[in-house]
């Protein structure tokens, strides 16, 4: 039997010490994982990426303290290339946490600095063509998403930026082109 001397007043058997150490590690891991999930839902300001397991927190671009502005133009053409509809909006929503900055800087390509009404913005322009899975659908909410493993939520696709337009009828053969312009406030 080996004896470990931690301090002259504390003498532990190796087996007892190992059990104690594993217990501390186990409790620390559990506390850390619970804290991370909790932190995702409720941060210091009461906001996080998620309100609960299935719903996200969004900030509106119309809020006076919004750091993003969104403009979206949606073009729908049939399989022959004929224009069916165009819808636009100058409003939208975004997740007010760092995931919006991640998508903005990592996925939206080249940025340029613009000044509008004496406010400096970083401007990103992005074009996407969402895939249509159903035969016919009425669509009015469009989103830029990030998909991946989100701790505490499993594999999810998260709508980071979204905008609503007039309802458009989209069939499986239609081609949808979304032209996003997103401004990030630099002030």
pLDDT for 60 equals: 85
* DSSP code at position 2: -
pLDDT tens sequence across 134-176: 666 778 888 888 777 666 556 567 788 999 898 888 888 899 9
Question: Quick check: is 30 in a domain?
Answer: yes
Question: Quick check: is 51 in a domain?
Answer: no
pTM for the model stands at 0.68
Question: Quick check: is 21 in a domain?
Answer: yes
Distance CA 180, CA 25 (A): 48
Range of the domain at 179: 59-185
Question: Quick check: is 47 in a domain?
Answer: no
Q: Kindly report the backbone phi and psi dihedral angles of residue 18, in degrees, each rounded to the nearest multiple of 5, phi listed first.
A: -65, -45
55 pLDDT band, cuts 50/70/90, is low
Residues 34 and 119 reside in one and the same domain: no
Question: Quick check: is 17 in a domain?
Answer: yes
Question: Quick check: is 54 in a domain?
Answer: no
Residues 86 and 168 reside in one and the same domain: yes
Residues 37 and 63 reside in one and the same domain: no
pLDDT tens sequence across 78-125: 999 999 999 999 999 998 877 888 888 888 889 999 998 888 999 999
> What are the C-alpha distances in Å from 166 to residues 16, 73, 103, 172, 177?
68, 11, 25, 19, 15
Question: Quick check: is 53 in a domain?
Answer: no
Helix (H, G, I), strand (E, B) or coil at 106: helix
For the chain, the domain total comes to 2
Residues 24 and 66 reside in one and the same domain: no
How crowded is the C-beta side of 163, counted as CA atoms within 13 Å?
A: 23
Residues 32 and 121 reside in one and the same domain: no
Residues 144 and 78 reside in one and the same domain: yes
Residues 33 and 68 reside in one and the same domain: no
Six-digit token pair at 106? 């990592």
Q: What is the mean pLDDT of residues 31-36?
A: 43
Six-digit token pair at 186? 């630099």
Residues 81 and 116 reside in one and the same domain: yes
Residues 75 and 29 reside in one and the same domain: no
- Cβ contacts of residue 148 below 8 Å, gap of 6+? 155, 156
pLDDT for 134 equals: 63
Residues 25 and 63 reside in one and the same domain: no
In contact, 121 and 186? CB cutoff 8 Å: yes
Six-digit token pair at 168? 């458009």
């Amino acid at each position: 039997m080996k004896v470990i001397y931690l301090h002259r007043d504390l003498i532990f058997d190796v087996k007892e010490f190992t059990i104690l150490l594993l217990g501390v590690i186990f409790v620390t891991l559990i506390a850390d994982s619970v804290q991370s999930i909790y932190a995702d839902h409720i941060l210091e300001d009461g906001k996080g990426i998620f309100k609960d397991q299935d719903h996200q927190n969004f900030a509106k671009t119309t809020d006076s303290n919004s750091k993003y502005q969104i403009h979206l133009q949606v073009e729908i053409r049939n399989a022959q290339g004929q224009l069916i509809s165009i819808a636009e909006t100058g409003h939208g929503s975004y997740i007010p946490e760092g995931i919006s900055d991640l998508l903005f800087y990592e996925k939206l390509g080249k940025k340029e600095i613009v000044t509008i009404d004496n406010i400096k913005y970083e401007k990103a322009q992005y074009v996407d063509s969402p895939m249509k899975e159903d035969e016919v659908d009425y669509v009015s909410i469009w989103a830029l998403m990030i998909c991946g493993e989100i701790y505490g939520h499993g594999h999810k696709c998260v709508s980071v930026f979204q905008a609503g337009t007039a309802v458009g009828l989209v069939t499986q053969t239609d081609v949808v082109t979304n032209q996003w312009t997103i401004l990030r406030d630099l002030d």
